[in-house]
Every structure is written in C-alpha cells, then in structure tokens.
Structure 1
Amino acid sequence: MITQDSIDTLKSRLDIVDVVGSYIELKKAGANFKAPCPFHDENSPSFVVSPAKGIYHCFGCGAGGDSIKFVMEYEKLNYPEALEKLADSYNFTLTHTDNKHNKPRSQVMDKLNEWYQNLLTTKQEALEYIKERGIYESSIEKFGIGYAPDSNSTLNYINSQGFLLSEAIDMGVVGYDGGRSFARFIERITFPIHSANGSIVGFGGRTITGHQAKYVNSPETAYYNKSRLLYAYHHAKQTLYKTKEIIITEGYLDVIMLHQAGFTNAVATLGTALTPQHLPLLRKGEPRVVMAYDGDSAGRAAALKASKLLSVGGFRGGVIIFSDGEDPADMVQKGAIDELATMIRKPKPFIEFVLEELLSLYDLRDPKAKEECMQEGVAYLKTLSPILQEEYKTFLASRLGGLGVSPSLLKFSQDTNQNNSPLMQKNTHKDMWELTLIKTILEHPEFIDQILDVLDASLLQFHSREFVLALQGRVDEPALMAIIVDDKIQALKDEDALKNELIAFLSKYYERELRTINNQSSIPFEKKAFNIRKIRDKIAKLKKGELVAFKS
C-alpha cells in the first residue's frame, strides 16, 4: 500500500495544466484553460482546467477532479495505477507500507545509455561518421550520443548489471520473440530520447553497417509514446519559453546541428508525422512554430499535413522547405548560418503553404481539375475561423486563375448552431448572488460563522444544496467544481464586503417574507401581527446596517 505522505508529496509536485495538457490540447481562457471534453462528444469546449485550484471540471457531463482523477478516467486506471503512472512521469519514487515494494523505477535506461556512450569512444567507424557530419564533442556529450554493439553484448551487459530482462523488455530496449530475447539496437549510433521532464524513455538508432532500416526508434511502451514526445524537447524548452518560438525538424542530426549553430529551440518528431497528440506539448509557452522540412515528396507531404493541423489549431508560424536535397544539418555544416536564420525569421505562413501545396497538386489548365482544386481549398478554409476564411478566399481565387475565378464563387456556409453560451448551462437557473456566497465560503472558510449567524440553506432559492456541500468542504463534488472554476463568479474579499452583501440579501428576503405573511389568511390575527412586528423589526435593523440573527 502506498503511504499517504508519499501520495501528498507527489500531489504537491503535480501541475494540473501539465498533466491534463499532456493528454489533450488546452487553450488559455482568462485565468483558466479550456478544451473540448475528452469524456463526452461536444463541439464547443465546456471542459475547464483551473491551475489555481488544481482541478478540472466539465460543464457538459459533470466530470471533474484533480490530476490523479484525470489520469484514472483517461487511462482507465485504478487509483494506485494512476499514482504509479504519474510518479514515473515526474521521476518520483513512491513509498509503500510494504518494504518489498519500495524500489525505485528501473535504471536500466540510464545505465545502458552510459554504457553506449562509453562504447562510442572505442568505435572508430561511428566516431568518423559523427565527425563527418560536423558534430562537435560537446554535442556528443550534451545529447548523450552513444553506440550499441551486437545483441549478445547488450544482453550480457544488462544481466551483468543485475537488471532483469523483463525490465529491459518493458522499457523497449530488448525484444522477445519465438522464445528468444534480442537487443533492439544492434550496431547503431544511439540517440537517447527523453520525456519532457528529462527522463530517458527510449532510443533512436542510426545504422553504420548497412542495415536495411537507416533509422529505428524504440517501440511504444508505458513510458514512450512517439506521438506525444519531441526529440530534445527537454533541451529546447528553456529557450522556446524565452523566445516564444520552436523549430520542428525531421531528424536527430538536424536538431543537434541547429543547437550547435545557436538555434537551441530546435526539436524533431520521432519517426512520425506531427499528430494532434503533439499539440498539447507544442501549446506550452504559446510559441510561434516553424516547421523545417526536407523538399522531397515525403517532406512536403509531412509539412502539408502538419500545416493543416497547426493552422486549424490556431498556431502562429509557418514552413521552411529546403531545396536541392539539403536539410538544416547540411546548411549548418556548410556555414550558411545567416541564410538559415533569415529563412527561420520568414517562413511561409501555414495557410498560404497549405493552399499553394493544394494548388500544386492539380493541373489548373483543366477546368474540371480547377473545380476540384477549388472544392478542396474551400473544404480546408472551412476548418478555419470566419475571419480567416474571408481573408484567404481572395488568395485562393487569385491563385486559381486570376480574374478567371471570382471570390464570390467560393461559398462558405456559416454554422448557425455554434454554441457561444457561457460556462453555466442554459437550462438551469443560476443565481449569481448565491453562487458568489458559496464561492466565498469555499475560498474564505473563516467567514462561515459570520454567514451562519444570519442565514441557513433554507433562505437560498436556487443553490441550497451547493451551499450545504460548501459548508461540508465537499470540493470534490461536481456542483462545487463548476463554481470553483467559473471565473465569472468572484468570491467576496473581506468582511465589510460580505456584511454589505448579506444586509442587501436579507433585506430583500425579509421584505418577501413580510409580503407573504400579509397575504396569508389562514393564520390567526394575533400570530400574524406578531410575525409582522418581528420581521419589521429585523428590516429596521438591517436598514441601520446591523446584521440580525436568523432563527428558523
């Protein structure tokens, strides 16, 4: 069993935006972050993450909780499994009441990487290749470049260090097939792949002995997901937060050479195209994104896909396509640093790149092809905002044939069902005064006694249940989470403000009570007169600025 102290320490290290943002793309919305809910289908975002409160809440389906609850729900894990998952992500070792479980995460990746690095110094062929590519010794050290030998040598080393092969299999550096184990990286230069927090979670390998696959990456594991990670992100994140810019390339060597040339905000995808799962990581720091891709057909296709994804996601930036078979590493090696810097400063904007690439795929001399191109271009523009649609339909029309195609031919139907409603649901009445009182209780529990002296839940017309939950401190209840994360509801800051609001509320309440009693004919005259005098006395005191005790 995991100790409570250990759980509390882990919780103190968790950042709700970091945790949730590693699974879904979050967008800043005031003090909070918003996204379409991952737990139910919806078109407009009703899922809110509050970094100040450390919780999330969906106003559509009611899902809510903290970082641990989110991982449990998203990954379909139980509580201990979610704790272990988060502890691994944050390089944290959980403590168990049973000492046999108190072992740190396997160090097989770190040990293996150290060994690979030492072997590199003895492998002349690998060193010569690295030198030919222009990589400095300082970069070899910074990026942890190494060399993986034959399979048996790797397996023997793992055994000699006291690691179980099952650990190495779980981490993806050893495979198992047909009753035999084998190293996944054989006679290759190795590039360790790190999580965003800096832990080694996989390797990339480049052959130097003519293997059919020039590059291979670790398989996906519980720790390594190539669609969520970017090579060297842990090195680049400090610069990208400072410069508000990130450069995405296609290869390890491109990244290493760009860092050598001073572009220390460069990263690379890991043998895959850019995916929607990358967007949460790219959103951090809100950087301008520059895609630096090769000019071959595969590079242009990858750049087109990425540009569509990023433009629809609202990212700033653009695309650089390298011609004549060059890549960023080649330009750095030949000393074209200034030229490269100019290209990075002035990339082709994403939307323009997408439209021009689409146009290049059709023979625009053929009217039918021109029509098909227009339809594909319009379909893409419909994924953008109305303002961008209007801005770029003229651009598309002019490229389709100058005066031959009028922008009026490009039709965009507007979605009249867009939900621009506030966070609170429309079909339920929300009383802002009562919600403000409840949020005040949640944020200032020291005011509870003052509040309970003058009112109780029965006086609230719409939110008496939430009022009781707040008094009980039940912040894990969805109804309270909705109040906590709603920026429109502001807690009262001091006792004077609270007193004034209570006087105003109670004055209206007792005036309603007075009208109700006056209209009652079923009670005896003496009792009715007594109740009227009592309520009028309270109203008089409230008008003098005095709070009056409540008695049910």
Structure 2
Amino acid sequence: MIDNNSIENLKARLDIVDVVGHYIELKKNGANWKCVCPFHDDSNPSLVVSPSKQIYHCFSCGAGGDPIRFVMEYEKLSYPESLEKLASMYNFSLDYTSDDGKIKEDRKLLENINMYFRKNLDAKTDALKYIKDRGIGEASIEKFELGYAPSSPENLNFLSSNGYNIAEAIEAGVAGTGENGRNYARFIERITFPIRSVSGKIVGFGGRTISGHQAKYVNSPQTKLFNKSYLLYGYNFAKESIYQTKSIIITEGYLDVIMLHQAGFTNAVATLGTALTKEHIPLISRGNPKVILAYDGDNAGVAAALKAALMLSTVGISGGVVLFTEGMDPADMVQHGQSDKLNKLFHNPQPFIEFAIDKIVKKYNLQDPLEKQKALEEGSSYLKTLPSSIANSYAGMLSGSLNINPNLVKVQTHQSNRLKQQKTAFEDTLELTIIKTLLTKPNFIDTLLDTIDVNMFKTHNMELSKLLQNEKEDPSLRRILLRDDIKVYDEDELIASMINFLISFYHNELTKVKSSNMDYKNKSFAIRKIQENIFKLKQGKLVQYESLSTI
C-alpha cells in the first residue's frame, strides 16, 4: 500500500502542464494551454489546461480534473497505478507501507554510491587534473558533486559490502548483467556527474571517460527513476535563476553547464546525450522563459538546433539560437575569459523563426529551379504551423531568401472552427464572479454562508448549489474556474459585491411582497423586515438570509 504522506508529497510536485504535455502536444493560449481533447472525437482544441488552477477541462465533452485524474482516464489505470506512473514520470520515490503499517526502508543506493564516487575523486590525481585543466574550480566540484567511478570489481564490492544486492543495483541503473551472466558496474574509470530531478533527488549519473573508453560519455540506462527525455542536467540548480531572469540557456554538455554556472550564467542546463524533444517542453516552459539554444556550430549541432527551433517555435515558445564555431564551446569560452562575449551572444541570439527559415533555405541549391521549389514548399509548410499573423510577418523573409515574388509564399493557415460551446446566452456576471471567488478562495464561504441562499441566484443557482455541496469536480464549476474573463475578488470586494447583490435581491423581494395576496398583517411584517435588511445593507452590514415563508 502506498503511504498517504508519500501520496501528498507526490501531489505537491505534480504540474498539470507537465502531465498533460507528456501525452498531448500543448499550445500556449494566454495564461493557459490548449490541446485537442483525447476523451472525445475532437477536431478543434477544446481542452484547456490551467497551470494556475492545476486542472484541465474540456469545454466540449466536460472531461476534467487534476493530474492524477488525467492519467487515470488517459491510460485507463487505477488510482494506485496512476500514482506509480506519475512517480516514475517525476523521478519520485513513493513510500510503501507493509502489512503492519510501517514504512518500508528507503535504501538510498544512489545517494550512497554518489558519496563513494566523490571520495574516490580526491585520490584520483589524473581525474582531478583533467577537471582542473578544464577550468573547473573547487567550488564547482563541490556544488555539482563531481566524483570518480573506479573499476567494476571495486564498485561491485562497495555495493555488496554496504548491503546492496545486485538486483537493487540493476534497478538503480548502476550495474548490469552481461550475456555471459556476469555482473558488472556501468560506470567504470569515469568522472561522474550525479543527475538530479527538479526537486534535487539523485536519479542517475553521467560519466566521462579518462582512460580511452570508446564512449566518451555515458548516462544511466532508463529506470523507474531515470528517463533522459524528461530531465535536464543542472535544472535543480538553475530553476530559481530561470524563474527570476525569465530565460533558460540549453547546452549540450555537463561541462558547459558547470562552467557557465561558474561564470554567473546560473540559468544554464543541458540535455542528457539526446536531442531536445517534445517531452522536455513542459519542463522548459515552467515560468514561461525565453529559451536560448547554445549548440555547437558543426553539422550535428546545426541539425539539432534546427529541429529544436522548429519544435519550440511551433508551440509558441520564444527564444533563439547561438551557435559556437572554431572549435569553441561555452565551457571553453568561460575558461578563456570570454564571459563578456558570451553574455552578448546570449542577449542577441538569432530568433527561432529566422534561424529556421535561414537553415531551411540553405539546405537547397537555389540555382536549381526544382531545388528552389522544394525550399519554398518546406519553408511555407513550416510557416503554416505558426499563428497566421506571425506567419505573414515572416513570409517576406522567406521570399527574400529565395529571391522570388512574395505572392508565391502561401502561408494562409487553416483557421480552426469556432468552439462548439459558446457562452451561455444569458449570464449574470456578478453571480459568476461570486462563484469563481468562492471556488478560488473557499475560506470565504463561511463568511457568506448565512447571507445567501441558492434560490437567490436566478441564473447560476445550479452552479452555486454544486459549490455549496463541495462538488468541485463538476464540469460547470471547472468551466467557471478557467474563465479568464471572470474576476476573482479579494475579501473587501467580495463583501461589497454581496451587499450590492443582496440590496438588489431584497428590492425585488419587496416589490413581490407589495403585489402579493398576503394578508395585511403578514405583508406589513414582511415589508418592514425586508426594509430593515435593505437599511442594514446600505450601512455596509451583511444580513442573515431568511425565506419569506419564515418572515
């Protein structure tokens, strides 16, 4: 059984944009994200994902809920299965309780072997020399916890002598079993770089050879904790700087990240031996930063930068590309005292769309009419993936690069049909505002509970009823919660609006009573009571609700 505290800790780490974006391509839409709903036959993006509310909601079929609900519905999993799936996605270790209710021991294998690697580095002079020759200082060695993995027998001996069996080591990704059935350590004679999740938990390692192994760099294999497509090296250190500077520098290597941080570029991260993928987008998008791709200027680096620029610009992420030539990478430039030059490069990257058009055109021989046509088609196809206003803005750049008539560039995008769900024909803005405020700030409900009744709301009494019954998963309430055009009041504004609402309500009630067939005595009493309520409300005091039948 999964421990309840562990479940709550996992929930605190979940991000609805991350989770939905893991399965479906999201596009930015103001403060929210939108996508095609996977829960019905949806041809238009009708599912809205709200990072501030941490919910999703489909304005067509009504599906919605929190991150756990999404995984349950999308993958058809049970609640515990969904928790385990999310824990794997977030590199989070769930605690399980045994039959007696006690939490099973966390073995902390990765933390312990990291300490072992770090201690080994102090005694490995050639590894230390390589690190220091690259310009890495003692503070950076300590901050990024660089270590050294010795021979396979030594690593396996450390594990066994500390009570870890081979099954645990394989599960953690630090050991394996060969075809001959012999066990081996995965990190041998390498400088080690512990890789941590967003929350700072070690989930795997990277290793750089210093003894001539064919593979210069290796990473942990995929495990229940480690999936390189969802991780960025150094993000745990960089995240605060990313949020503050509203920018993120994405590099290609561990040393680039370490040296950039050492030089003050503390918003730098790196992919883990893989190209930037759509799985990285939710993590990259946190805080809505400008993305700077800092890649090598060789053919492989240009190809990777183009692929990433196309992907990022298509989903509405802003930023640009900086290519490093002449055999220099960011780490080299820091080492050679060129931090000021780096700073200028990072502040003036080539925007994604300009970079993409430039590289698309350069793929073709424009002296050949057939090649030029292919360049036009590929460039136009790319522009069609962008919003129409942006595509039109760059159509001239594409035609100019091809030296053709601008009219030949067709960038008219397929405009999506209007949402099937339109706003309710008759809406009461004040009622909706009160409901959204109470949904957002439920502590206000007690303040107003005695003053209002469901029947007071003429247009949205059903929604208020569901709110008071705590049915917050109801689609109609999620829809209100996600409406950006509905304001959320602070407490003073809420009370003031309620007073105005109640004054209007009691004036209507007064009119009804005066024209009713009530006997004189009851009518007189009801009129006095309603007038008394109106008087108190005009003095700024809330009054307790009483039905006419009890007045």
Partner of 1:107: 108
Partner of 1:247: 249
- 1:545 and 1:488, CA in 2 relative to 1: closer, same or farther beyond 3 A? farther
Task: After TM superposition, give the deviation of residue 25 of structure 1 in Å.
Answer: 7.6
Q: After the TM superposition, which of the residue ranges 473-482 and 148-157 deviates more from structure 2?
A: 473-482
Structure 2 residue identity aligned to 1:549: S
Task: After TM superposition, give the deviation of residue 303 of structure 1 in Å.
Answer: 0.7
The 5 Å alignment of 1:16-31 reads 16=15, 20=19, 23=22
Task: After TM superposition, give the deviation of residue 374 of structure 1 in Å.
Answer: 0.9
CA distance in 2, matches of 1:382, 1:227: 27
CA distance in 2, matches of 1:328, 1:511: 77
1:472 equivalent to 2:469? Answer yes
CA distance in 1, matches of 2:525, 2:28: 50
Q: Answer whether contact 1:319 1:348 (CA < 8 A) is retained.
A: yes
- 1:532 and 1:379, CA in 2 relative to 1: closer, same or farther beyond 3 A? farther
1:291 equivalent to 2:288? Answer no
Partner of 1:35: 34
1:432 equivalent to 2:431? Answer no
Q: Answer whether contact 1:198 1:234 (CA < 8 A) is retained.
A: yes
Q: After the TM superposition, which of the residue ranges 483-492 and 171-180 deviates more from structure 2?
A: 483-492
- 1:75 and 1:255, CA in 2 relative to 1: closer, same or farther beyond 3 A? farther
Q: After the TM superposition, which of the residue ranges 227-236 and 73-82 deviates more from structure 2?
A: 73-82
The 5 Å alignment of 1:43-82 reads 43-44=44-45, 46-49=47-50, 51=52, 53-73=53-73, 77-82=77-82
Partner of 1:373: 375
- 1:288 and 1:264, CA in 2 relative to 1: closer, same or farther beyond 3 A? same
CA distance in 2, matches of 1:183, 1:256: 26
CA distance in 1, matches of 2:186, 2:343: 38
Task: After TM superposition, give the deviation of residue 80 of structure 1 in Å.
Answer: 3.6
Task: After TM superposition, give the deviation of residue 96 of structure 1 in Å.
Answer: 3.9
Q: Answer whether contact 2:232 2:269 (CA < 8 A) is retained.
A: yes
- Among 527, 547, 550, the alignment partner of 1:549 is 547
CA distance in 2, matches of 1:168, 1:532: 88
CA distance in 1, matches of 2:214, 2:105: 38
Structure 2 residue identity aligned to 1:260: Q
- 1:489 and 1:350, CA in 2 relative to 1: closer, same or farther beyond 3 A? closer
The 5 Å alignment of 1:248-267 reads 248-267=250-269
Q: Answer whether contact 1:25 1:283 (CA < 8 A) is retained.
A: no
Structure 2 residue identity aligned to 1:163: Y
Partner of 1:390: 392
Q: After the TM superposition, which of the residue ranges 479-488 and 506-515 deviates more from structure 2?
A: 506-515
Task: After TM superposition, give the deviation of residue 149 of structure 1 in Å.
Answer: 1.8
Partner of 1:181: 183
Q: Answer whether contact 1:319 1:349 (CA < 8 A) is retained.
A: yes
- 1:271 and 1:460, CA in 2 relative to 1: closer, same or farther beyond 3 A? same
Q: After the TM superposition, which of the residue ranges 101-110 and 287-296 deviates more from structure 2?
A: 101-110
Structure 2 residue identity aligned to 1:69: R
The 5 Å alignment of 1:69-148 reads 69-73=69-73, 77-83=77-83, 89=90, 94=95, 96=97, 98-99=99-100, 101-148=102-149
- Among 293, 317, 320, the alignment partner of 1:318 is 320
- 1:15 and 1:91, CA in 2 relative to 1: closer, same or farther beyond 3 A? closer
Task: After TM superposition, give the deviation of residue 202 of structure 1 in Å.
Answer: 0.9
Task: After TM superposition, give the deviation of residue 482 of structure 1 in Å.
Answer: 2.4
CA distance in 1, matches of 2:62, 2:427: 19
Partner of 2:445: 445
- 1:246 and 1:5, CA in 2 relative to 1: closer, same or farther beyond 3 A? closer
- 1:460 and 1:268, CA in 2 relative to 1: closer, same or farther beyond 3 A? same
CA distance in 2, matches of 1:535, 1:54: 50
Task: After TM superposition, give the deviation of residue 288 of structure 1 in Å.
Answer: 2.0
Q: Answer whether contact 1:370 1:400 (CA < 8 A) is retained.
A: yes
CA distance in 2, matches of 1:533, 1:225: 78
Q: Answer whether contact 2:92 2:225 (CA < 8 A) is retained.
A: no
Partner of 2:538: none
Partner of 1:520: none
Q: Answer whether contact 1:133 1:333 (CA < 8 A) is retained.
A: yes
Deviations 1:470-492 (A, max 9, x none): 22112233332223333334467
Partner of 1:521: none
Task: Report the aligned-residue RMSD.
Answer: 3.7
CA distance in 1, matches of 2:51, 2:531: 39
The 5 Å alignment of 1:502-513 reads 502=502, 504=504
Structure 2 residue identity aligned to 1:294: D
Structure 1 residue identity aligned to 2:60: G
CA distance in 1, matches of 2:25, 2:244: 21
Partner of 2:209: 207
CA distance in 2, matches of 1:145, 1:474: 51
Q: Secondary structure at the match of 1:121?
A: helix
- 1:181 and 1:61, CA in 2 relative to 1: closer, same or farther beyond 3 A? farther
CA distance in 2, matches of 1:296, 1:286: 29
Q: After the TM superposition, which of the residue ranges 296-305 and 163-172 deviates more from structure 2?
A: 163-172
Contiguous gaps of at least 5 residues in structure 2 = 535-544
Q: After the TM superposition, which of the residue ranges 485-494 and 151-160 deviates more from structure 2?
A: 485-494
CA distance in 2, matches of 1:332, 1:436: 53
Q: Secondary structure at the match of 1:449?
A: coil
CA distance in 2, matches of 1:408, 1:341: 39
- 1:278 and 1:7, CA in 2 relative to 1: closer, same or farther beyond 3 A? closer
Task: After TM superposition, give the deviation of residue 44 of structure 1 in Å.
Answer: 2.8
- 1:329 and 1:494, CA in 2 relative to 1: closer, same or farther beyond 3 A? closer
Identity of aligned residues (%): 46
Q: After the TM superposition, which of the residue ranges 91-100 and 336-345 deviates more from structure 2?
A: 91-100
1:197 equivalent to 2:195? Answer no
Structure 2 residue identity aligned to 1:150: S
Partner of 1:302: 304
Task: After TM superposition, give the deviation of residue 357 of structure 1 in Å.
Answer: 0.9
Q: Secondary structure at the match of 1:450?
A: coil
Task: After TM superposition, give the deviation of residue 381 of structure 1 in Å.
Answer: 1.1
- 1:388 and 1:485, CA in 2 relative to 1: closer, same or farther beyond 3 A? closer
Q: After the TM superposition, which of the residue ranges 353-362 and 506-515 deviates more from structure 2?
A: 506-515
What TM-score do you get using the length of structure 2 for normalisation? 0.83
Partner of 1:357: 359
- 1:373 and 1:204, CA in 2 relative to 1: closer, same or farther beyond 3 A? same
Length, aligned pairs only:
527
